[in-house]
Structure 1
Amino acid sequence: MTEIFGVPTAAFMGQLMLGLVNGSFYAILSLGLAVIFGMLNIVNFAHGALYMVGAFFAWMLLNYAGVNYWFALLLAPIGVGAIGALIEMTMLRRLQQLDHLYGLLLTFGLALVFEGAFREFYGSSGQPYELPEIFRGVFDLGFMYLPKYRAWVVFVSIFLCLFTWYVIEKTKLGAYLRAGTENPNMVRAFGINVPLMVTLTYAFGVGLAGLAGVMAAPIYQVSPLMGSNIIIVVFAVVVIGGMGSILGSILTGLALGLIEGLTKVFYAELSSTVVFIIMVIVLMIRPAGLFGREK
């Protein structure tokens, strides 16, 4: 049996793949947070709860309406995005001229409301979500068996993250979004509805969280606590990458997922805290984060 650093190859690569899957979810969720903060200057603490809502939407569509995974992959993010648009128009817009702390406290309160509502109806135990037939089984790579669904999650996550980065950083739409944050009056002069643009940006950011929830449903049990279990790590990812940095969130999310997976191989006791240790070290050396801009 071949080994890598004294660890059986299959075990080493298995943990590496598990870390990459976790990193894919970190990347998508931190990307949504970075879009919302970078474009709107809102620290969206409800992000984890809306990730959970996306997973529950997929579960309810399957169990109550017989809607399969593929339609849920489209409908659940739209539903979560609609909730986000409603939150922005009715609540966050009223706090626009106030300190960012008010938005953070509001979204934190909303997260508690969402989590409490789903716990009331479904309890704290997880609900299983059936894996789509096409993704059952594994790829035999010779040195390890790669579950088909986890390979799909990694592919979709990387594609979606790179596509979002390209749209925001390299297209005219992205230029309008960035300009609307820094100088909304100038953007209005071009005939663009800035409030609508803000609403759609927030809806897109939380829609990414809803999409991540749908993709997570077959891997992790659908539970009211799944959002609160991941959101603290995701905020650490955003801080390490740099608040508001799109590319920083993507690269840092994937990298920290891999580091977390490798830590489980060599020193499992440290795996739950390694992300926060890295965050402390990064903030000591570069307070704005690895890809953030120093003010």
Structure 2
Amino acid sequence: MFELLGIPPQALFGQILLGLINGSFYAILSLGLAVIFGLLNIANFAHGALYMMGAFVAWMGLNYLGLNYWVSLLLAPFVVGAVGVVLEQVFLRRIAQMDHLYGLLLTFGLALIIQGLFRNQYGSSGLPYAIPAELRGGYNLGFMFLPTYRAWVIVASLVVCLGTWFLIEKTRLGAYLRAATENPILTQALGINVPLLVTLTYGFGVALAAFAGVLAAPIYSVNPNMGADLLIVVFAVVVIGGMGSIMGAIVTGYALGLIEGLTKVFYPEASSTVIFIVMVLVLLVKPAGLFGRAH
């Protein structure tokens, strides 16, 4: 059927694979944004810079300390999550009761500072990060060649996203988080440490970004601008799925990655704008997003 349309099957399935890979990063990053916005009501513009920091932690761990990919995949989220905890304690907590615009401006300024520090130290050119030996090569599926590392990225992203959804929606800790979101004063009165929950939630959200950064390091070059290039698209994903919606971030991330990949096949000129076209159409029909709740 695709050959009748003048589209080789290899090209079609290759773009679907690329869409799934992009969707994996969209899903993890938008999930972290949704978690942070859901509890803190902060549009975290530092998210892209912290995603970049996760990739750089993996690169520095390999080149300075000899840490392999698997150690970095576990270590980078903790390191960047600790940085997020410090940022929340030192900066974000001071503006918690102010208008949301202050949080947006503050995190945007932090992103510029973080990117500037890494750009000053490492320059703007990309730094290579090798695919681990265990994940090199690929599989010939007949209709396409599937690189092993790309398959790993999709599976790892899906496991982390579904695990985060289960943690927030189906566990007691998740119930505490949702209660703190809905009524922090009552939750505090019941003996739950809401400020600690807020701090840990921000740290967890940016740890997800760092995890995505380590996954991205062998695919894309590690450079200070890698987060800024992706952040606008991820915010569009969050808006389409519904600000603060966990499942909305996951489903919309993968779906928009696929839509973007298919657009490159059938109408390449629109591939860079299709996500924003979808965002406009969704907001016209449902301003709260596909999975969001109207306030």
* Aligned-partner Cα distance in 1 for 2:82–2:108: 19
Q: How does 1:194-273 map to 2 (within 5 A)?
A: 194-273=194-273
Q: CA deviation at 1:2?
A: 7.3
In structure 2, distance between residues paired with 1:228 and 1:246: 22
Equivalent position SS for 1:291: coil
User: 1:25 matched to which residue of 2?
Assistant: 25
How far apart are the structure 2 equivalents of 1:165 and 1:255?
A: 17
1:213-267: CA deviation from partner (whole Å, max 9, x where unpaired)? 0000000000100000000000000000010110001000000000111111111
Determine helix, strand or coil for the equivalent of 1:244.
Answer: coil
CA distance in 2, matches of 1:138, 1:148: 5
Aligned equivalents of 1:186, 1:167: Cα separation in 2: 22
Equivalents in 1 of 2:256, 2:116: separation in Å? 30
- Structure 2, unaligned runs of 5 or more: none
Q: Aligned pair 1:7/2:7, yes or no? A: yes
Match for residue 152 of structure 2? Answer: 152
Offset at 1:42?
1.1
Shift of 1:189: 3.2
Q: Report the equivalent of 2:283.
A: 283
Change in Cα spacing, 1:282 to 1:87, as seen in structure 2 (3 Å) is: same
For residue 126 of structure 1, give the secondary structure of its aligned residue in structure 2.
coil
Task: Write out aligned runs for 1:80-91 (5 A).
Answer: 80-91=80-91
| Equivalent position SS for 1:107 | helix
2:112 aligned counterpart, secondary structure: helix
Shift of 1:190: 3.4
Deviation at 1:159, TM superposition (A): 0.9
Q: 1:115 to 1:66 in 2, by over 3 A?
A: same
In 2, distance between residues paired with 1:185 and 1:266?
Answer: 52
Per the alignment, residue 41 of structure 1 pairs with 41
Aligned to 1:193: 193
Equivalent-residue separation in structure 2 for 1:124 and 1:85 (angstroms): 27
Report the equivalent of 1:115: 115
Partner residue in 2 for 1:163: 163
**CA deviation after TM superposition for structure 1 residue 188, in Å:** 2.4
- Contact kept, 8 Å, 1:263 with 1:270, in 2: the verdict is yes
Are the structure 2 counterparts of residues 71 and 150 from structure 1 closer, same or farther at C-alpha, using a change threshold of 3 Å?
same
- Partner residue, 2:142: 142
Q: Distance in 2 between matches of 1:292 and 1:4?
A: 40
- The percent of aligned pairs where both chains have the same amino acid is 69
Q: Deviations over 1:170-198 (max 9, x none)?
A: 11111100111222232223332211111
2:97 is aligned to: 97
Residue identity matched to 1:29: L
- Structure 2: how far apart are the matches of 1:18 and 1:3? 20
Q: TM-score, normalised by structure 1?
A: 0.98
SS in 2 for 1:7: coil
Query: Would the alpha carbon gap of residues 4 and 141 (structure 1) be closer, same or farther in structure 2, given more than 3 Å must change?
Result: farther
Are the aligned partners of 1:4 and 1:12 in contact in 2 as well (CA < 8 Å)? no
**TM-score scaled by structure 2?**
0.98
Distance 1:4 1:188, change over 3 A: farther
Question: By how many angstroms is 1:5 displaced?
Answer: 4.2
Q: CA-atom RMSD, angstroms?
A: 1.2
Q: Matched residue of 1:139: which SS? A: strand
Question: Which amino acid is the alignment partner of residue 154 of structure 2?
Answer: V
What letter is aligned with 1:211?
F
Q: Please list every run of 5 or more consecutive structure 1 residues that lacks an aligned counterpart in the other structure.
A: none
| Distance change >3 Å, CA 26–CA 184, structure 1 → 2 | same
Q: Is the 8 A contact 1:16 1:262 kept in 2?
A: yes
Change in 2 beyond 3 A, CA 1:225/1:185: same
Aligned residue identity for 1:151: A
Is 1:126 aligned to residue 141 of structure 2? no
Tell me how far apart the structure 1 counterparts of residues 267 and 107 of structure 2 sit (CA, whole Å): 35
